[in-house]
């Protein structure tokens, strides 16, 4: 039986990388604010695609570099506003910053929330705009303002995220090599016996398909090691990687949402730019995945992926396919209810939950994700 391994950010976190979206946002905000606070010369207005900051004239008399030692971006920005700094940012960025202290930030989900809000703005203003254009009167509305601002912010975030993860990948290469951890994951990936349940006879491992959703090259380390052992393996960087930031896929992917058809019917391409499916069409990786699952029976290993709605179209095809015989979830015991939350998410990809229960390996037969700091 073949093996499909879904690899996402929990895998990189298990290897010691600071790769959560909240890590990235905190790093970006502190990096942006640092030269503002330590500047030798006063500058009233400071802009980036995410922020516009206006400093009061007495700013340097009141603020201290202690602001930079604060843990989160939200705390830093709150401290600046307390010192009289005016901060303007798109609603999308406000949502990101306000969610940081909750411990988990889902950029893709927040993008979709703000996309729906931008559609409301468009619908509320397009009739008035068209009337003003036809009558050649002064145009005082812009139906596309919110969506253009949103897409600009998403594109900028993608570029900065790739930059940040490139640095984390270098830290992995130079500081986070862990032979004991490598050995544990290698054994998981190449375990030659596939045991669907306690009754059936274990099956022999066929081909391994590593479906990597991360932009980093941690998964590539295992691909190289597996290949050295002459085990048939393929690595698919389905979202691209840090070496090709222009073609990295970043956005939302649930085209089964009832609102998606409404978005298509708007006949405005700007509202579709943040959907992953259009990025998938730029390479053959998705087609290779579908060919793999059609060939033979396979089991799915979930390694660090939340299995949320952001990749729903793909996962629905993978999980519901008749060749999928088992779904094995590896959970992180550092995260409360991690196993339960993953199977809740997996259930959303099934039309028939009875079918899901037949495929899902039970908790007592599942295993925890090995961690970088395991003793």
Q: In this predicted model, what pLDDT tens digit does every residue of 184-212 receive, in sequence order?
A: 999 999 986 666 665 456 677 899 999 99
* DSSP run (H or E) holding 46: strand 45-47
The per-residue pLDDT for 196 is 66
Q: How far apart, in whole angstroms, are the C-alpha atoms of residue 375 and residue 361?
A: 27
Q: Strands (DSSP E) along 247-357, which ranges?
A: 298-303, 324-331
Q: How far apart, in whole angstroms, are the C-alpha atoms of residue 238 and residue 228?
A: 23
Q: Exposed (0-12), middle (13-18) or buried (19+): which is 103, by Cβ within 10 Å?
A: exposed
Question: Considering only CA atoms, which of 5, 4, 3, 18 is closest in space to residue 216?
Answer: 18
Q: Are 234 and 28 in contact (CB under 8 A)?
A: no
- Give the residues of the chain that fall short of pLDDT 50: 199
Q: How far apart, in whole angstroms, are the C-alpha atoms of residue 344 and residue 228?
A: 37
For residue 30, the tally of other CB atoms under 10 A from its CB is 18
Q: Are 331 and 10 in contact (CB under 8 A)?
A: no
pTM: 0.92
Sort strands 208-212 and 193-194 into parallel, antiparallel or unpaired.
unpaired
| Cβ neighbours for 295, distance < 8 A, ≥ 6 positions apart | 2, 323
CA angle 190, 196, 200 (to 5 degrees): 120
The per-residue pLDDT for 191 is 85
Q: How far apart, in whole angstroms, are the C-alpha atoms of residue 62 and residue 89?
A: 23
What sign results for the dihedral spanned by CA atoms 266, 267, 269, 272? Answer: positive
Question: Considering only CA atoms, which of 82, 53, 48, 56 is closest in space to residue 67?
Answer: 82
Question: Considering only CA atoms, which of 317, 302, 295 is closest in space to residue 206?
Answer: 295
Sheet holding 367-368, edge to edge: 233-237, 208-212, 2-7, 298-303, 324-331, 367-368
Question: How many Cα atoms are found within 13 Å in the side-chain-facing hemisphere of 303?
Answer: 27
Question: How many Cα atoms are found within 13 Å in the side-chain-facing hemisphere of 51?
Answer: 22
Which pLDDT tens digit goes with each residue over 213-266?
Answer: 999 999 999 999 999 999 999 999 999 999 987 789 998 888 888 899 999 999
| Cβ neighbours for 315, distance < 8 A, ≥ 6 positions apart | 307, 346, 349
The per-residue pLDDT for 197 is 60
Q: How large is the angle between the packed helices 91-99 and 145-175, nearest 10 degrees? A: 40
Q: How far apart, in whole angstroms, are the C-alpha atoms of residue 185 and residue 189?
A: 6
Sort strands 203-204 and 193-194 into parallel, antiparallel or unpaired.
antiparallel
DSSP 8-state secondary structure symbol assigned to residue 40 = S
Cα 319 from chain centroid (whole Å): 20
């Amino acid at each position: 039986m073949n093996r499909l391994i879904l690899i996402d950010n929990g895998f990189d976190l298990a290897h010691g990388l600071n790769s959560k979206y909240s890590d990235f946002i905190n790093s970006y905000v502190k990096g942006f604010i640092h030269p503002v606070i330590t500047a030798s010369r006063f500058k009233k207005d400071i802009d980036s695609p995410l922020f516009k900051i206006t400093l009061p004239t007495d700013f340097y008399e009141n603020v201290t570099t202690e602001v930079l030692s604060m843990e989160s971006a939200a705390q830093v920005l709150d401290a600046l506003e307390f010192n009289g700094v005016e901060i303007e940012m798109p609603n999308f960025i406000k949502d990101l910053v306000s969610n940081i202290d909750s411990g988990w930030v889902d950029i893709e989900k927040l993008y979709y929330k703000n996309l729906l809000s931008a559609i409301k703005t468009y619908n509320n203003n397009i009739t008035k705009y068209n009337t003003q254009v036809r009558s050649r009167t002064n145009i005082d509305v812009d139906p596309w303002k919110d969506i253009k601002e949103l897409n600009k912010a998403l594109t900028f975030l993608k570029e900065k995220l790739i930059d940040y993860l490139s640095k984390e990948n270098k830290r992995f290469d130079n500081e986070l090599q862990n032979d004991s951890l490598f050995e544990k994951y290698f054994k998981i990936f190449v375990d030659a016996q596939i045991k669907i349940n306690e009754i059936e006879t274990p099956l022999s491992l066929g081909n391994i398909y590593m479906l990597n959703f991360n932009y980093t090259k941690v998964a590539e380390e295992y691909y190289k090691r597996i290949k050295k052992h002459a085990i048939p393996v393929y690595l698919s960087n389905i979202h691209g990687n840090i070496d090709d930031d222009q073609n990295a896929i970043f956005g939302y992917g649930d085209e089964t949402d009832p609102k998606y058809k409404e978005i298509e019917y708007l006949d405005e391409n700007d509202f579709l730019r943040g959907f992953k499916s259009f990025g998938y069409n730029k390479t053959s990786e998705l087609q290779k995945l579908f060919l793999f699952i059609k060939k033979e029976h396979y089991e799915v290993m979930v390694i660090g992926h939340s299995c949320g709605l952001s990749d729903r179209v793909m996962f629905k095809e993978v999980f519901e396919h008749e060749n999928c015989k088992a779904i094995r979830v590896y959970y992180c015991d550092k995260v409360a209810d991690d196993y339960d939350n993953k199977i809740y998410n997996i259930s959303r990809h099934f039309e028939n939950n009875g079918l899901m229960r037949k495929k899902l390996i039970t908790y007592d037969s599942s295993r925890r994700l090995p961690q970088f700091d395991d003793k």
